[in-house]
Amino acid sequence: MRAVTVTPGVPNSLRLADDHPEPLAEEGAILVEALAVGICGTDHEIVAGDYGEAPPGASALVLGHESLGRVLEDPSGTLQPGDLVAGIVRHPDPVPCPNCAVGEWDMCRNGEYTEHGIKALPGFARDRWRVQPRFAVGLDPALAPVGMLLEPASVVAKAWDHIERIGTRAEWQPQTVLVTGAGPIGLLAALLATQRGLSVHVLDRATTGPKPGLVRALGATYHTEPVGQVDLDPDVVVECTGAPVVVLDAMCKAGPAGVVCLTGVSPGRTIDFDAGALNRELVLENNVVFGSVNANRRHWDLAAEALAQADLAWLASLITRRVPVGAYAEAYTPTADDIKVVLDFTT
């Protein structure tokens, strides 16, 4: 069968294997036929050789952590043949640490977790894969064209879950949210904000392309001015760019008792910044700044509900390119107007 693989650490080792072995029974009872995988910045880093780890004893890593497939067989009876399914990316560490021991593997303490298509587990960019019932998330049948968005949606479902847990340390009646960055994570964070009835503002540099229209279609306001100049005192800021200057401005932007959630990963870069001013802002306003990554089972289930309630046409418009597997190299080459690029296994 076909599989998209890299040799981790070797730049541009991306290839499409035609004779990849069928998934091993030990990977899980549920056998799945791949429909699509989504591609994100993590994939680009792995293809560049900056990141990624092959399974023990293997030299190649199958890519793909944003999965969507159709169940072929499930002897456990958890799902039915024909059901749409996505596989949870991260598996708990084997020790396990206190968080992994209770299913909160997104909060792993020892770093020994594994991740499909990223760290020591084969990914979902192959014609067939297997998944254990506890890592299989069923999707509403209507989500067939867009279900590979479940993984990025799970990341923002976790972010919102933790924002709300932090917010409820005191009386919590948020009204306004500022999202920085209108990529897939920022747009999905904005979607979940609108589902909460919040007044949503999204900031991005792009003045052309699909982003302004996608934000307005949510009923949200689109901004292109610097964060500090946005005339708002948001209760929540969700930072999705990882750009150091934007991150710093975002940390100072929340209103009193506000919560700032950082979801972007920054490149190393030194910038001048007034640590005293940030300290005064956080202390005198009771603000919280926290980082958020990955998602556990509960967040995947919340994300599946959020996608099922969303406007299908809007979700579909996040997918700006759908590339057949045979043209895989094109799919892994980013272009300026991409929001989400999807590798299509049905062709």
Which residues of the shown chain bind Zn ion in the complex (CB under 5 A)?
93, 97, 100, 108
Angle in degrees, CA 121, 39, 80, rounded to 5: 65
- Report the C-alpha gap between 306 and 314 in whole angstroms: 13
Q: Report how far apart, in Å, the C-alpha atoms of 170 and of each of 167, 256, 261, 280, 284 are.
A: 7, 12, 17, 20, 15
d(C-alpha 204, C-alpha 223), whole Å: 6
Q: Please report how close the Cβ of residue 109 comes to Zn ion at its closest, in angstroms.
A: 5
Q: Which 3 state secondary structure label does DSSP give 262?
A: strand
Give the nearest distance from C-beta 103 to Zn ion in angstroms: 11
For 66, the 3-state DSSP assignment is strand
Measured from the CB atom, the residue of 108 and 200 that comes closer to Zn ion is 108
The smaller minimum CB distance to Zn ion, of residues 100 and 182, is found at: 100
CB of 322 to Zn ion, least distance (A): 35
**Sign of the CA dihedral with 42 first, then 45, 46, and 47 last:** positive
Nearer to Zn ion, 76 or 110 (CB): 110
The Cα–Cα gap between 284 and 280 comes to 6
Question: Residue 92 Cβ, how far from Zn ion at the closest point, in Å?
Answer: 6
Q: Report residue 209 as tokens.
A: 């392309």
- For residue 230 the two structure tokens come to 């946005």
Please, what is the minimum distance in Å from the beta carbon of residue 134 to Zn ion?
A: 16
Least spacing, CB of residue 294 vs Zn ion, in Å: 11
Residues 186, 211: Cα–Cα separation, whole Å: 10
Q: Is 97 or 149 the residue whose CB approaches Zn ion more closely? A: 97
Minimum CB distance to Zn ion smaller for 108 or for 342: 108
Residues 191 and 216 sit within 8 Å (Cβ to Cβ): no
Residue 41 or 96 with smaller CB distance to Zn ion: 96
Q: How do 340-344 and 319-324 pair as beta strands?
A: parallel
Nearer to Zn ion by Cβ, of 61 and 100: the residue is 100
Q: What's the CA gap between 110 and 95, in Å, rounded?
A: 9
Question: Closest separation between CB of residue 107 and Zn ion, Å?
Answer: 8
